[in-house]
Structure 1
Amino acid sequence: MTVEELLSRYSATNTITEDDIAEIQDSENLRWDLYNYILLHKNRNFILAILHKMTKLRAKVWEENVLPVNADSIMFASYLLGLHGQVEDSLEIWKAKITDFDTHCAVDIELIVFAGVDETLTYLEKQEPINGFDAFEYATGCYKAGSFEGLENYFKPERFVHGYYH
């Protein structure tokens, strides 16, 4: 599958399928192509659909004991969403991060502040906790601990290796 095929199907149906997610998760080339596509052509709704489908499938494991989407794939989709630089996406990435323990560990807190630390903290301060998890409190604690120092290095494209963001 190519990015063009995936995008064409999404545009026609406005949905991302489980098969699409499996293909993204299993194909290093497709992940690399998605990354390069988003660098040139922002498509926030497309990436939001991918992230939402991934987190829905990841949560499904607890309900139906099915093989989940791996946490690295959710990190990847969060990174692609962050490339759009929209402060409201900090909450979308936070929701993906708190899907379960493994995603909480895998999805870096730095991804939450793609739109800027001050802008993101101001935005998150106005949001309600989700499932008991307060994004503002967590992000503020990380800020105080120095987690957001050196973000210019964190966001460098060179960190995207072999279809994964490291």
Structure 2
Amino acid sequence: MDCPLLAAYEATGQLSEQALAELTDEEDSSEAGKRLYHCFRQRPNIAFARALLTTLSTRYVHGYTHGGPTTTQGLRLAGYLIGLHGDVRDALALWRTKQLTFDTACEFDIQMVAFAGIDPTIAYLQTLPDPDAAAAVDYLQQCQAAGDFDDLHAYFSPDNLPYWI
């Protein structure tokens, strides 16, 4: 499967500007996101997913604060790819992404923060001496009480992809 963004990263360690533009272009992002998801499932690369989230977060904040184009599509996809990897140490970065703006707070699903399971995620975040981690624990516990994680395993199932992929 053709995946220029992942292929360029694997070859150079850099994210291709052209492929990034395709992923963040609202008209093309859905098809590009699906291709990237399927490529990533075949060739998981957590360094790529983390670099993608960092780059897209920086671009999103810049666009948001300077009146440029913003979309959460790429952020959500990068977060989802990170969640597929399952390393609980990524939970705080995903929480911070969710907290970038009002839009990301609404559109970046809380399930992505708790991808490793709600109990392990809370336990890990409680070990961090960081006010963001404490805020995340608070919010996660509220969401847990509301039943938001009852079907967490299905959220990351290839049979049940989120609508935005």
TM-score range relative to shorter protein: 0.7 to 0.9
* 1:84-136 superposed Cα distances (whole Å, 9 cap, x missing partner): 01101111211111111101101111111111211111011122123x97211
What RMSD in Å do the two structures reach over aligned CA positions? 2.2
Instruction: Name the counterpart of 1:48.
Output: 50
Distance 1:133 1:67 in 2: 31
Number of equivalent positions: 160
Distance 1:43 1:150 in 2: 25
Gaps of 5+ in 1: none
Distance 1:23 1:148 in 2: 32
Shift of 1:62: 3.6
Question: SS in structure 2 opposite 1:158?
Answer: coil
Distance 1:17 1:64, change over 3 A: farther
Moved more, 144-153 or 85-94: 144-153
Judge conservation of contact 2:126–2:134 (CA < 8 Å) in 1.
no
1:81 aligns with 2:74: no
* 1:15-35 superposed Cα distances (whole Å, 9 cap, x missing partner): 325543221132433222211
Distance 2:146 2:162 in 1: 27
Distance 1:150 1:27 in 2: 27
Instruction: Name the counterpart of 2:6.
Output: 7
Distance 2:97 2:138 in 1: 17
Judge conservation of contact 2:155–2:161 (CA < 8 Å) in 1.
no
Distance 1:80 1:16, change over 3 A: same
Gaps of 5+ in 2: none
After the TM superposition, which parts of structure 1 deviate over 6 Å for at least 4 consecutive aligned residues?
A: none
Distance 1:18 1:63, change over 3 A: farther
Q: TM-score, normalised by structure 2?
A: 0.84
Distance 1:23 1:133 in 2: 36
Distance 2:56 2:17 in 1: 8
Q: TM-score, normalised by structure 1?
A: 0.84
Shift of 1:45: 0.5
Percent of pairs identical after alignment?
32
Instruction: Name the counterpart of 1:91.
Output: 92
